[in-house]
Amino acid sequence: MIRKTVFWIHLICGVAAGLVIAMMSTTGVLLTYERQILAWSDRDQSVTPPAAGERRPIAELLAAAAMQRGSPAPTAVVVRNDPRAPVAVAFGRSGTLLVNPYTAAVAEQGAARLRAFFDAVEGWHRWFNVGGESRAAARAITGACNLAFLFLILSGMYLWLPRIWKWAAFRARLSFNAKATNSKARDFNWHHVFGIWSAIPLAIVVGSSVVFSYPWANNLVYRSFGEEPPVRGARGGPDAAPQRALAARQAPSGGAAEPERLSYDALLARATASAGDWRTITLQLPASQEAATVRFAIDQGNGGQPQRRQNLTLDAATGEVREWAPFAAQSTGQKARTMIRFLHTGEALGVAGQTVAGIVSATSVIMVWTGLALAYRRLVAPLLRRGAAAAKTRRASEA
């Protein structure tokens, strides 16, 4: 009785959410290597360092970018640990400009069509690529379908178990059956094989999306580790920068504290000295020139590995460390919540993780197709056959 109940709920959820799940899975496949593809597309925008290799001051690069963009004001500067890489000046949601660190020449980011394509795909993945007031309703639909998808995965693992626990029965559902020659047998076999082999990584990918969709799921992450969930949107919340744990660490200050504010270049040099083997350093530009501190985000990974990120806050006047927040200093709940964001895409585990996430997204499309085909044969085909038989009987009686 329990198995039958689970089966019918599984079937109803699959039919109701199948097409949306297929859409999210397809767009997930397209987004698998977005970071690498965009990095590859930017290869032509590398710069040639001069013989002297002298870089222009950051203030000059900011002024050049601000002059071209106009408004709003720049919000961040991203420096890569590569002398051939341009400096990226971010303007919040208004985009990013690339500045040659040796000549201060400004250029737009390349591959505009490719970036627009990925933006549209991500929009479909999250909320059917709609805007305005319709976005909230679209997010509610995709959130509900994510929750239904998680149930389908978990209930599918239960339904996958054969009624008779014998190796022959397990083997039939673990491997492709060469004897499944008709479409019904093939769909049944594929649904079970693809489903069980992708179940665990797919549960991680889909379960993480449920955390994004529902505040109760987000709060559950923290409460699972005995922590109180942070206020959403507050400093340290899941939608803001990770909460910084204080771990004061004295950096080389070069002598006595300077009475005037240090330049961004001097502060960047001190951040670089504390960064170790870094790939990118992001200077978060303070809202006011009178700000007492300047914050740096140091990334030693591929951009999607929070375990290799750390935040550093320096005194704007002396360059001394005010706050040092490596990933290890966060609470267990904060670590888990931060990792969940990048386990969804697989980026937290590098290219291998991204590949696994992309593969299970592709298998999801197959499972939707085979599942809907099986549901059609169970629910719709018998009605059509009975309708055709009744019509044939009626025509015979009229004749």
Q: In what order do the strands lie in the sheet with 96-99?
A: 106-108, 96-99, 87-90, 76-80, 280-284, 293-299, 309-315, 321-326
299 forms bridges with which residues in the sheet?
Answer: 280, 309
pLDDT at 397: 84
Q: Sorting pLDDT into bands at 50, 70 and 90, what band is 259?
A: very low
pTM of the predicted model as reported, rounded to 2 decimal places: 0.85
Mean pLDDT of the region 157-182: 90
State the Cα–Cα distance between residues 134 and 117, nearest whole angstrom.
21
The string of pLDDT tens digits covering residues 64-122 is 999 998 888 999 999 999 999 999 999 998 889 999 999 999 999 888 899 999 999 99
Q: Sorting pLDDT into bands at 50, 70 and 90, what band is 234?
A: low
Residue 253: pLDDT over 70: no
Residue 326: pLDDT over 90: yes
The most confident of the ranges 110-114, 159-163, 198-202, 230-234 is 198-202
Mean pLDDT of the region 193-208: 97
Rounded percentage of the chain residues whose pLDDT exceeds 70:
93
Q: Sorting pLDDT into bands at 50, 70 and 90, what band is 232?
A: low
State the Cα–Cα distance between residues 169 and 157, nearest whole angstrom.
15
pLDDT at 243: 33
7-11, 220-224, 273-277, range with the lowest pLDDT: 273-277
Mean pLDDT of the region 314-319: 94
Task: Provide CB contacts within 8 A for 56, sequence distance 6+.
Answer: 101, 102, 103, 104
Q: Tell me how far the alpha carbon of residue 197 is from its chain's centroid.
A: 22
Secondary structure of residue 108 in the 3-state scheme: strand
State the Cα–Cα distance between residues 296 and 282, nearest whole angstrom.
5
Average pLDDT, the chain: 89
State the Cα–Cα distance between residues 218 and 341, nearest whole angstrom.
11
Residue 41: pLDDT over 50: yes
The string of pLDDT tens digits covering residues 211-231 is 999 999 999 999 999 999 988
Mean pLDDT of the region 344-348: 95
